[in-house]
Each structure stands twice: as C-alpha cells, then as structure tokens.
C-alpha cells in the first residue's frame, strides 16, 4: 500500500517540477530565444546571443568567387576539388607577363607573378560544390575564395544565390572572348617574324 | 508477454516514418501490440563512401567522412585524421591537438543534445527537444565562427587544422559553458526524472553486457549496460590522456542496468564530462603555434595498413586504411558504431510493444548516414 | 638532355649541398633550374636517410617499431598459440608484427578457440574488412578482434581465391559477424559458409557485380534508371 | 430554457408544432456552431502562442500586411482554417467510402450536441434538462463510434491501430469520470446543471465561495480524477496515444486531409471545451463569482464561466507541451488500477463525511 502511495506522490512531484520548468520559460519569452526572423533579420546578426561579431570571422562558406585577373591557371583548385566541380582551360601566352589588351588579359597578377597562360574557361558548377573550402587553401594567388567573411572588403556575404534554372548556377568566370581572338592573340604571327 | 498466438500482422515502419532517425525500414511482425520480430532493412542512404575513397586523394576523403555521421562530423574527421597521422607518423603541433580536442568535445555535446532531444520526441515530449536544439544552436554558432560551416566542417586536415581559431574564441566558449551548465539540470527536471518518461523507459529494451559485447555495440549503448569501455581512456589517442574526466556507466538507478533509461542517462552524464574536458582544454591551450605547420605538401603515406579507433558520440568509430604508396588510398573501411547498434535492435525489443520499439530505437541513437555509408 | 645541362646540374647540386644556394638559383634556363632543384631535394633525402637509421633497413616501416626490445608482438604470441593448437593453419612467412595470416580451412574452430581460451578471450569482433589485393591476385578478409577483459587487440587475415572465394562464417561465434559478413559479401562477393541468410545488406538484392572489387564495371541501367550520372554540357 | 421560451414566443406554435420546434432548435444550434468555430480559432491561436513561449520560440509572428499573418500572427489560425478548407480532401481508393465520409461528422456531432446542456450563464442555456450531467456523459461517448469508423474505413494499418487504441482509451476513461460526477450529484442531489450551480452559491467556512471543490477534502480528489480522465477522453497528452506522431504517424486521421481533417480538429477542441465546462460547472461553481456577494449578474456570469473554462483549457495546453506520452497498457493500468478504485473510495468517503457533518 505504501508503495502505491509513494508512486502517486513521486508522479505528482515530478510532473509538477516539469510543469514548473515550462511555466518559467513561458514567462521569459525573449530570454533564450535563438530563432532568427529571416526576412527581417539576416544572418550574421552580431549580437546574436553568443556575442561574436562580424569582422572576427575566420572563414565563410557561401558562394565561390574567382578574381580572374589574378588566376594564373595552375589548376591546383581543379585537382583538389573532391567533387571536380571546377573546369579550367588555358592557352599558352607568347611572352610571359605581357598584357594582351584585345582579349583583356592582364599579364601581372596582384601578387606580382608573371602569367604564362591565358585562362579561356573557368567554370564552377555550384550545384555540385560541397562547400568544403579545399580549393581556397592551395591557390598561390588567393584568387578563389568564398564571398564575405575575411574578404568582406571585396564582397559582402552572399548566401542567397538560388536560381530558377539549374544552368544559371554554373558560374563562368573567364572573360567572354571569342575563340579566334584568343587564337590569333596567342599564336606566332606566321608572316611577320619580328 | 507474447504467449497469445493471434494471427500475425506484418507492419512496415517504412523508410518514410517520423521516428526512424533517417531512412530506415523496419519490417515488424506484430501480434496485436506485441512485437515478435523486427528485421531492419538498410541501404536506402548508401552513397558508396568506400568506393569514392578509392577514387580520390587522401585529403579529398575528409569531406566524405563528414557526410557519414553528419551529426558528429568533427569526430569523424578526427578519427580519419588520427588514423592517417599514425600511418604517416606525422607529429602535430600542441596547439592543433588542443583545438581538435575542443572541437571534438563541442561536437560530442551537440550530438548528444540531438540524441537526447529526438529521444524525448520519440517518447512524446515535444518541449525538451526544443530546449536542447536551442543550446545546440549555440555550439553550431561557435563552429561557424571558426570554420564557417555549421554541420559539415571539413575542419581537421591531415597534419593540422584548416583554420586557426578566430580572435576571442576562448571567451566565446567560456561564455557558452557558463550559460550551458545550469541548463543540463533543467533537462533533468523536465525529462530525465519525469515519472511518465521513467515509466516509458525503465526496464525497457534491457541490453545485457555479454549480448552487447557479442553484438559489437559500443559507446553510450555499451556503457549503459555497465561495461566501462571508452577509447579516450582505454586506447588514448591525441592528447586525451592529459585530461581527467570519468567514464559514466549505467547503474540501473531506475530500472535494471542496461535499459533505455540508463543509455539516456549515460549520455546526459557524458555531456557533463565533456564540459569538464572542455574547461581543462581551454585553460591550457597554447596561445601560439601555426596550425598549417605540419601539413604535408604531398600526402604519400608509406605502403601498409592501419586500423585505428576513436570515440565518436555513438561509439567506436574505426578506420581501416590500406595505402599502396600512391596519393590515392587503396582501401578505406569505416567501422560504424551505429551499424552495430542497429543490429542489436531485434535482440532487445522482441516481446515488447510497438511504442517500446520506437523508444528502444531512439535510445540506441542511430544515424543512417553512418550505417549505410 | 644535353650533357652540359647534366654537368651543370651536377656541380650546382654539389655546391648547394655545401650550403650556397645561388649556384642553383642563377641557372637561367627555367627547365634545368627546376631539374636541379629536384635533384638537390633527392640528394638531401638520401643523405638524411642513410645517416638517420643506418642499421635496420629491412624492418617494416609502416608499424611504429615497439620501443621495448621484446621480439614478440602480441600478434606473434597469439600466432604461436594458434600454431600450437591448430598446427599447419598459420603460415609464418606472411604473418608480421601487426597481423596473423591464416588458412581459411579451420578458421571457425580457431575463432571459437580465440573467444573461449582464457589467455585470449577475444569476445568482440571489432571490424571485418574485405580487400581486393590486386587485379589478378587473391581476395582477402581481415578480422580485427578485441578483448574487453584483457583490453588487447589482434588482426587476422584470411586469403581466398578470386573465382569462388569461400571463408567459414564466424557468425555464431560473434553475433555482429552476421551483418559484417553480409556487408563484405555485398561488396566483394566472398561466400561465408554457414551464414544464416547471406544476402546483400546495403545494395538492392538484385544488383549485379561486386562494387568494391578492382575489376568492377558499373552496370548501365538498373530497372531502367541510367546508373552512371552523366551531366550534359559540363565536360 | 431558451428552447422552451422560443417555442412559446413563436405565434404559429399551435398550428405547426413540428415546424416551430425545428425552427427553435435551429435558432439555437447556429450560434452554438459559430461559437465553436470562433472558440476553436481562439484556442488554436492560444495553443500556438503558448506552446511557442513554453519552448523558447516566438510562435507565429508577422509584421504588416500580406501573407505575414498580420501583427503577432493573429491571422495564423484563419490561414490554417482556410488551408484546411481549400485543401483537396483525398479519399483513398481502397477506403470504405460511405464510412470514410461519415466518420468525421459523427465525431463532431458527439461533441456538438453536448453543448446544449452547458450553462453559459444564469439565463444563457439551451436546454436545462433535469438530467443535464448524465446527458453530457452519455453523449460524449458517441465520438468513439466515429473514431472507430474513421480508423477502419481508411484501410490503413496505422489508422486501425489508432482506432483500436482510442476506442479502448475513451470507453475505459468514462467510468472514472462518471464515478467522480456521482460524488457531485450525491452532494447537490440534482443532476440539472443549473441546479448544481445554484447549490454552490454563498459562502463556506466564512470566506471561501461555496464551490464544491472546497466542500470537503475528498472533492479535490474527485476534481483531479474527473479532469485527468476528461483530458484522456479528448486524446490530449499525456494520453494522446491514438494519434501519436512518433508511433502511429497520425492514428485514425492518417488518411484524412482538407475539410474532413478540419472536422476532426474542430471536434477535438469542442470536446476539450465540453470537458472543461462540465468540470467548471461541477466543481468550480459554473457562473458563480469567486466573491459570492457581488458580480453575479447574468453578463458577469458568462464572464466567470468562460474565464474558468479557458483557464482549464490553458492547463490542458500546458499538459500537452510538458509531458511525454504514456504507453497503452500503462494507460489502462492507470485507469483500472488507479482512477477507478480511488473514485469508488472517494464516493464512500464523501458519503461518510456527509453523514457525519450533515
């Protein structure tokens, strides 16, 4: 009989403590709330309750971006990508480091290395990308990076890049230049051998 | 229990079901409410992890290990990276070791929070799930602060870590720990000692130690049955032997040892132990040290094979890596703890009712990404 | 490769070994300069290798050499016990410090013995890995056993022919063997005799071929669905 | 009362007795249906908001016009209702069509006709029958038939499970509810709802309002048992086993969608109101004001009745977001080994108390 009453007593006390917890949370509505009202409040909201702020970011996983003028076509990012979502085609340049104005090719990168290749095609298929950030590390010119975060001065965070058509998610970073322009810019002029 | 032999009914707790923690199908033969046999059917989430590893280089495998156990991907990376470093005999700087332990323990807390929350859901309590996800949200913010990602980090590389800690990281984690420790007591108030919860989980799905060992069960499920086996203590890897934390073991406070409640309570105690490890790691993390210093330029491990186990939140996560000297692994086999946990489901939930099967499945805390690989 | 480039690289490497690097750097032709650098690196590595461990060249380098000079690792001790109990099953030459090579013949009795013998007490089968050793060579199954009481672990490897691979099933010794062996069968096609219901566990039951074998081609369609994902307009 | 007054009020009552009766009943039924609809919207919104606050969420929010549910998410229940109405209600091919279509209405009728005996205020009651309480208890078990029809006709294993469980649960929890009401009838010696409330006027022990719950210590046990078994009768947590999301997907309502699902939803909330109403009438003094002397005009009476009922409904919502779910056999053991014996003991004790103290 005693055990019967003991279980009733234990039931009532534990249930009431549980109700006490929910009651306290009901009263303190805003205190522990972590939900982000998306369209109005956009991430990252600096003071979002664990108090880290925007410019302390180490890295951001958002959309990939390439400064094509700095790209020397070393194919390191293409090789390291686990899902091979980067495709690069390059053509050898006549003399290293020289600008070729008519195909808008800059010879020297911002790091000062002379370019030996013209990058004719640099496509990243963002539908395949697994955001693993492996391509950013080996790039000697640091020209491929995810927008926002430490390179915020170049780009602010952009994680709303959904498209209606899947092919629009294939980003083509190379300069839009017709093939034969590139061809005659990079091949030896046969008759004039100056 | 199932002595009355009515006509059996085969019930499909199908791949699309609210409480199968992923894409798992249970063919349950029930006689009325009492379950007489369960055959789990897996493979719906098979993504050929091992075949992928053979076609990619060693550092490209790391994003795949993330996606096996997507709830504890830091620990998956950690397992793979520890195995590789032992194979290539790379000595990692002190600071990287501490960063890795901090990240692994934070991920263990986040994974256990998810396990406890969804277990509350399986048993019918909605609110604890949201409390635990609120706190898990804070840990994901910390991960986002360091490596940008919230779930699949690709943070630990062979020989180092992808990014150094940001400014003010240690204070942020201290803030989190100060905020989080009183919350664990709140979970106990609302769920652990709740009589209805106790009634639903005590003496349900009792897993005897011998059965557990023979079925290869590991982690909180094995410790719930009273076997004191934790790889961080028994086969210490990285710098775990420097931290003193004890391994909680199920004592059957409410029912017999090894029931669902014990497995649940062992996870709650493990969260507290992880906060202890975190505090010690944060106290003596070396302030300087380049995290990219020991990153090998060309990863070409010597010919040979290695089997290395680490303690993931779900149990012994083993990597069997065979290398033939080329930059691509010859064979990578991942021994998944949830795979063995699921195999014991049939053994311990025979003769119980349908709602107990859901409770037992929840207490085993399985993740289908890791089972199907 | 003209010989003067050869000679140029030779003396540049000698000079660089003594310490002054400009000899290598001021080779103006880029190609020879990179070759010189490569040669320099190779030379440095030989020098380091020979000086560091002149003695044991033949020791297997993949396992960290046990510091204590005890000759027998655990694997060899257990191999010795097995050899004494079941003569002729352990082939010595291919067993190394880290594993024991067994014949598939009496594997079931050995497994039984390993679990029950008080000295070994291997009560938990940690991992079963199937390996395809090469295009034309054998298939192999590797068992990692672990003892919860003694807290020690060994690795057992069993080879089986490629055309009809047969290994006795240890499913009754360790219950988890049931699923591990089904997974190995699913991936490699290794028949485990005595297994309760040897079916595929991860792949659909009517999938042809064994995916993890080195000579595996993906089947074109599975129930009409084209298997290899070809993304048009991307190559 | 109102139905009788309406009948006398009609001029043609003598010539067409049948028609006038029908007209009177219709005039009473339509406002009750509207009341249920509006009340359900309010409680749905209340449940959304309260459950969110309890779970550290903010619940439906909305700034400004457009699809955002207006300010503080007020339009959210209206949006839900519209969604349910506009959604296509699918009838599974292999379903037993007639039963499938009929089930939701029977369940709703079970809850709807119980409203006719609820005393909203001194004058506001549809039919003050002298067997009011007995009528409500009898009628509220009608819902079970609807649930079983729903479970059986949707030809789905899960809904069959849900139907069997809900049948067992509702029927077995009517007994402790009835037993605890017997105690009330014993004290007030009348079964008519208004009569019970009239008995509870005036003071008891000086300052307390003469509500039955303060009458003697055993009455609190009776109230507790009646309220908990009431919660079990309308399948609310911790007894929401028939439509347990994690086990049975949605129990008897798995195959329902659209308008039919709305009716199940509506009848669940109507049932909650009936249970809370009867508990308030029997134990908390219906439309009696807590300070017996003042505030007891019919308008105030309505206010007191509604606020007490709403408080009990809040407690039901509070239960739902705090407790886990019981297993079926535990549910049965609580009912048969817990509530029923205690309720019987209670009758006995109240009898003795009443005998001694008079």
Q: Is it the case that residue A15 has pLDDT exceeding 50?
A: yes
- What is the average per-residue pLDDT within D328-338? 90
Summarize the confidence of residues C147-157 as an average pLDDT.
88
Rounded alpha-carbon distances, angstroms, from residue D338 to C212, D229, D231, D319: 60, 11, 16, 19
D328 and D223 both lie in a single domain: yes
B212 neighbors B364 (Cβ within 8 angstroms): no
d(CA C227, CA C231): 12
Nearest CA among B96, B77, B64, B90 for reference residue B161: B96
Which residue's entry shows tokens 């775990």? B240
Enter the tokens of residue B263.
């497995």
Chains that touch D (3 or more CB pairs under 8 A): A, B
Tell if the CB–CB gap between C62 and B51 is shorter than 8 Å: no
Contact at CB, B353 and D328, closer than 8 angstroms: yes
Dmax (CA) of chain B = 70
Strand ranges of the sheet holding A170-172, from the earlier edge strand across to the other edge? A86-92, A117-125, A170-172
Residues of chain D found within 8 Å of residue B353, distances taken between Cβ atoms: 327-329
**Is the CA virtual torsion C18, C19, C23, C24 positive or negative?**
positive
Binned at pLDDT 50, 70 and 90, residue A194 comes out as very low
Q: Six-digit token pair at B3? A: 């002595």
pLDDT above 70 for C229? no
The rounded radius of gyration (Å) of the Cα atoms in chain B is 21
pLDDT at C57: 34
Contact between residue B68 and residue B151 where contact means Cβ atoms under 8 Å apart: no
Chain C nearest-CA distance from B313, in A, is 17
Strands C100-102 and C153-160: parallel
Tell me if B127 and D247 make a contact (CB, 8 A cut-off): no
Residue C68 has pLDDT above 90, yes or no: no
* Cβ–Cβ gap B62/A48 under 8 Å: no
Both D170 and D274 in a single domain? yes
10 Å CB burial of residue C33 (0-12, 13-18, 19+) is middle
Query: In which residue are the tokens 């030896």 written?
Result: A188
Same domain, yes or no, for D202 and D102? yes
Number of domains composing chain D: 2
Strands (E) located in A14-152: 64-66, 86-92, 117-125, 144-146
Token output for B291 = 């995290």
User: Could you give the strand order of the β-sheet that contains B9-13, starting from the edge strand earlier in sequence?
Assistant: B9-13, B25-31, B34-41
> Under CATH, which number does the domain B60-341 receive?
1.10.645.10
Which pLDDT value is given to residue D253?
82
Rounded-to-integer distance, Cα A92 and Cα A73, Å: 10
Task: Tell me if chain C has a CB within 8 Å of the CB of B304.
Answer: yes
CA–centroid distance for C65 within its chain:
18
User: Smallest Cβ distance to B154: which of A33, A49, A134?
Assistant: A134
Which H or E run contains C166? strand C166-168
Instruction: Reply yes or no: is the peptide bond before residue A44 cis, omega within 30 of 0.
Output: yes
Residue C187 to residue C177: CA distance in whole angstroms:
15
The reported pLDDT for the residue numbered C196 is: 87
The average confidence (pLDDT) of chain C is 76
Around C53, how many Cα atoms within 13 Å sit in the side-chain half-sphere?
6
User: What DSSP state is assigned to residue D185?
Assistant: H
> Residue B351, Cβ neighbours under 10 Å: how many?
13
Instruction: State the residue range of the domain holding D62.
Output: 1-86
The Cα B75–Cα B101 span in angstroms is 9
- Of D42, D66, D86, the residue that ends a domain is D86
Scanning the structure block, which residue is given the tokens 């009455």? D219
Please state, in angstroms and rounded to a whole number, the distance separating the CA atoms of residues D135 and D247.
35
Q: Are residues D195 and D343 in the same domain?
A: yes
Residue B41 to chain C, least CA–CA distance (Å): 8
Six token digits for residue D118: 């609820």
- The residue with tokens 């004058």 is D123
Q: What is the DSSP letter of C65?
A: P
Domain end point (choices D60, D86, D112): D86
CB burial of B136-147 (b: ≥16 within 10 Å; e: otherwise) equals bbbbbbbbbbbb
> Strand runs (DSSP E) across chain B, as ranges?
9-13, 25-31, 34-41, 156-157, 160-161, 304-312, 315-323, 331-335
Of residues B141, B152, B191, nearest to A50 (C-beta): B141
| Average pLDDT in chain D | 86
Contacts of A125 in chain C (CB under 8 A): 231, 234
Q: Which residue has the higher pLDDT, D144 or D5?
A: D144
pLDDT at C99: 84
Question: A5 forms bridges with which residues in the sheet?
Answer: none
CA gyration radius, chain A: 28
**pLDDT tens by residue, A83-99:** 888 999 888 888 887 88
| Other C-beta atoms lying within 10 Å of the C-beta of residue D203 | 13
What does the pLDDT read at residue C70? 57
Q: Do B213 and C124 touch (CB under 8 A)?
A: yes
Find the mean pLDDT for residues A100-118: 85
pLDDT at C33: 61
Tell me the average pLDDT across D109-121.
90
Structure tokens at D204: 């008891």
Interface contact A9, partner D, CB < 8 A: no
State whether residue C47 is helix, strand or coil. Answer: helix
Q: Which CATH number fits domain A58-186: 3.30.310.10, 3.30.70.3270, 3.40.30.120, 3.40.50.10440?
A: 3.30.70.3270
> Quick one: which H or E segment has residue D317?
helix D298-320
Domain identity same for D25 and D170:
no
Query: Does A25 reach chain D within 8 Å, measured CB to CB?
Result: yes
Asked whether the CA dihedral B351, B357, B360, B364 is positive or negative, the reply is positive
Q: Which residue has the tokens 């795949």?
A: B64
Strand, coil or helix: C88:
coil
- Dig out the tokens for D89 from the structure: 């209600």
Q: Is the domain of D187 the same as that of D62?
A: no
Cβ atoms B193, C128 nearer than 8 A = no
Q: How far apart are CA C187 and CA B323, in angstroms?
A: 19
Which pair of structure tokens corresponds to residue D200? Answer: 């509870």
What CA–CA distance (Å, rounded) separates B214 from C176?
A: 7
B11 touches chain D (CB under 8 A): yes
In the predicted model, residues of chain B with pLDDT beneath 50 are: 1
Could C151 and B234 be called an inter-chain contact, meaning their C-beta atoms sit closer than 8 Å?
yes
The domain ranges of chain A are: 58-186
ipTM of the prediction: 0.86
Element (H, E) at C142: strand C139-146
Q: Do B355 and D330 touch (CB under 8 A)?
A: no
Q: Note the pLDDT of residue C66.
A: 41
> A167 and chain C: CB distance < 8 Å anywhere?
yes
Report how far residue D160's alpha carbon sits from residue D252's, in angstroms, rounded to the nearest whole number.
7
Specify the pLDDT at position A193.
46
Structure tokens at D340: 């029923």
- Higher-confidence position of B6 and D180: D180
- Compute the radius of gyration of chain D from its Cα atoms: 21
Q: Which tens digit of pLDDT belongs to each residue from C77-90? A: 888 888 888 887 78
Query: d(Cα C180, Cα B111) in Å, to the nearest integer?
Result: 25
pLDDT tens digits, A50-82: 545 656 667 788 889 999 888 988 999 999 999
In our burial notation (b when 16+ CB lie closer than 10 A, e otherwise), range D331-355 reads beebbeebbbebbeebeebbeebee
Q: Do C233 and A87 touch (CB under 8 A)?
A: no
CB D203 within 8 A of CB D214: no
- Report phi then psi at D113, rounded to 5: -75, -15
In percent, the amount of chain D with pLDDT more than 90 equals 30
């Amino acid at each position: 009989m005693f055990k019967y009453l003991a279980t009733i007593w234990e039931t009532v006390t534990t249930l009431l403590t549980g109700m006490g917890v929910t009651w306290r949370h009901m009263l303190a509505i805003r205190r522990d709330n972590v939900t982000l009202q998306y369209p109005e409040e956009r991430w990252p909201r600096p003071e979002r309750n664990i108090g880290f702020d925007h410019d302390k970011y180490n890295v951001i996983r958002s959309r990939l971006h390439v400064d094509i003028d700095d790209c020397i076509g070393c194919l390191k990012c293409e090789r390291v990508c686990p899902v091979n979502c980067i495709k690069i085609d390059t053509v050898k340049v006549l003399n290293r480091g020289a600008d070729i104005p008519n195909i808008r090719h800059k010879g020297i990168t911002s790091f000062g290395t002379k370019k030996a290749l013209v990058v004719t095609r640099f496509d990243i298929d963002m539908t395949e990308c697994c955001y693993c950030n492996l391509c950013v590390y080996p790039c000697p010119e640091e020209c491929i990076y995810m927008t926002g975060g430490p390179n915020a001065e170049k780009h602010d965070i952009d994680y709303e890049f959904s498209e209606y058509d899947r092919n629009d998610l294939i980003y083509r970073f190379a300069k839009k230049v017709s093939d034969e322009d590139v061809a005659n810019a990079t091949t030896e002029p046969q008759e004039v051998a100056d | 229990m199932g002595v009355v032999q009515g006509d059996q009914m085969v019930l499909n707790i199908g791949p699309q079901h609210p409480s199968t923690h992923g894409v798992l199908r249970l063919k349950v033969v029930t006689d009325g409410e009492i379950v007489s046999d369960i055959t789990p059917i897996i493979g719906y989430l098979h993504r050929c992890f091992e075949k992928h590893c053979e076609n990619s280089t060693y550092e490209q495998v790391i994003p795949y290990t993330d996606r096996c156990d997507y709830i504890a991907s830091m620990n998956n990376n950690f397992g793979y990276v520890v195995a590789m470093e032992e194979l290539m005999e790379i000595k990692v700087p002190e600071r990287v070791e501490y960063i890795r332990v901090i990240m692994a323990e934070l991920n263990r807390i986040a994974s256990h929070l998810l396990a406890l929350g969804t277990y509350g859901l399986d048993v019918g309590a909605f609110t604890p799930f949201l409390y635990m996800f609120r706190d898990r949200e804070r840990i994901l913010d910390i991960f986002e602060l360091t490596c940008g990602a919230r779930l699949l980090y690709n943070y630990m590389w062979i020989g180092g870590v992808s990014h150094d800690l940001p400014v003010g990281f240690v204070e942020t984690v201290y803030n989190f720990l100060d905020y989080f420790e009183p919350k664990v007591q709140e979970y106990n108030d609302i769920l652990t000692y709740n009589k209805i919860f106790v009634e639903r989980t005590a003496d349900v799905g009792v897993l005897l130690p011998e059965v557990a060992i023979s079925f290869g069960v590991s982690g909180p499920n094995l410790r719930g049955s009273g076997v004191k086996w934790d790889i961080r203590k028994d086969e210490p890897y990285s710098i775990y032997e420097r931290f003193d934390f004890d391994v909680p073991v199920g004592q059957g406070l409410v029912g017999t040892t090894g029931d669902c409640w014990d497995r649940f309570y062992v996870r709650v105690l493990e969260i507290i132990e992880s906060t202890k490890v975190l505090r010690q790691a944060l106290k003596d993390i070396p302030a300087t040290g380049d995290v990219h210093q020991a990153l090998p330029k060309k990863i070409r491990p010597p010919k040979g094979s290695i089997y290395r186990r680490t303690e993931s939140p779900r149990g012994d996560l083993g990597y069997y890596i065979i290398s033939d000297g080329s930059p691509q692994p010859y064979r990578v086999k991942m021994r998944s703890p949830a795979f063995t946990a699921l195999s014991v489901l049939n053994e311990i939930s025979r003769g119980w009712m349908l709602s107990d099967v859901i409770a037992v499945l929840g207490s085993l805390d399985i993740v289908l990404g890791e089972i199907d690989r | 490769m003209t010989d003067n480039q050869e000679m140029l690289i030779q003396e540049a490497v000698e000079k660089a070994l003594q310490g002054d690097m400009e000899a290598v750097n001021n080779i103006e032709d880029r190609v020879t300069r990179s070759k010189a650098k490569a040669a320099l690196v190779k030379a440095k590595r030989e020098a380091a290798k020979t000086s560091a461990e002149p003695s044991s060249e033949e020791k297997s380098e993949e396992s960290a050499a046990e510091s204590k000079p005890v000759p027998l690792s655990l694997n060899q001790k257990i191999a010795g016990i097995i050899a004494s109990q079941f003569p002729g099953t352990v082939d010595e030459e291919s067993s190394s410090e880290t594993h024991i090579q067994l014949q598939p013949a009496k594997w079931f009795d050995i497994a039984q013995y390993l679990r029950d013998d008080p000295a070994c007490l291997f009560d938990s089968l940690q991992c079963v890995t199937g390996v395809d050793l090469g295009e034309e060579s054998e298939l192999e199954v590797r068992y990692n056993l672990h003892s919860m009481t003694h807290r020690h672990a060994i690795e057992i490897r069993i080879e089986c022919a490629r055309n009809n691979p047969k290994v006795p099933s240890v499913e009754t010794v360790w219950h988890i063997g049931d699923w591990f062996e089904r997974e190995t069968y699913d991936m490699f096609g290794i028949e485990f005799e005595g297994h309760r219901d040897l079916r595929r566990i991860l792949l659909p039951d009517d999938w042809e071929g064994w995916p993890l074998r080195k000579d595996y081609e993906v089947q074109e369609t599975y129930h009409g669905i084209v298997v290899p994902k070809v993304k048009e307009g991307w190559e | 009362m109102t139905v009788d007054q309406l009948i006398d009020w009609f001029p043609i009552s003598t010539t067409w007795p049948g028609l006038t009766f029908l007209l009177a009943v219709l005039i009473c039924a339509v406002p009750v249906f509207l009341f249920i609809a509006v009340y359900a919207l309010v409680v749905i919104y209340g449940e959304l908001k309260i459950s969110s606050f309890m779970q550290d969420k903010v619940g439906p929010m909305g700034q400004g016009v457009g699809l955002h549910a207006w300010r503080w998410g007020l339009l959210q229940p209206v949006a839900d209702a519209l969604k349910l109405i506009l959604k296509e209600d699918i009838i599974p091919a292999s379903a037993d069509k007639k039963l499938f279509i009929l089930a939701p209405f029977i369940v709703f009728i079970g809850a709807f006709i119980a409203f006719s005996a609820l005393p909203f205020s001194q004058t506001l009651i549809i039919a003050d029958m002298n067997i009011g309480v007995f009528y409500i208890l009898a009628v509220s078990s009608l819902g079970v038939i609807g649930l079983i029809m729903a479970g059986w006709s949707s030809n789905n294993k899960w809904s069959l499970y849900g139907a069997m469980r809900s049948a067992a649960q509702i029927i077995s929890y009517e007994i402790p509810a009835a037993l605890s009401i017997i105690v009330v009838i014993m004290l007030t010696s009348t079964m008519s709802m208004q009569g019970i409330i009239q008995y509870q006027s005036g003071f008891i022990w000086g300052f307390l309002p003469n509500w039955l719950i303060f009458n003697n210590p055993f009455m609190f046990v009776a109230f507790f048992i009646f309220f908990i078994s009431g919660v079990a009768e309308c399948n609310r947590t911790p007894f929401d086993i028939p439509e347990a999301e994690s086990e049975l997907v949605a129990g008897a309502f798995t195959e329902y969608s659209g308008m039919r699902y709305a009716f199940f939803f509506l009848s669940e909330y109507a049932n909650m109101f009936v249970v809370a109403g009867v508990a308030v009438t029997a134990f908390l003094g219906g439309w009696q004001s807590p300070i017996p002397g003042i505030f007891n005009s019919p308008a105030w009476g309505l206010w007191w009745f509604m606020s007490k009922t709403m408080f009990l409904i809040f407690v039901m919502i509070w239960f739902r977001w705090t407790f886990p779910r019981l297993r079926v056999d535990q549910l049965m053991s609580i009912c048969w080994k817990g509530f029923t014996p205690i309720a019987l003991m209670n009758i006995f004790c109240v009898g003795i108390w009443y005998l001694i103290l008079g």
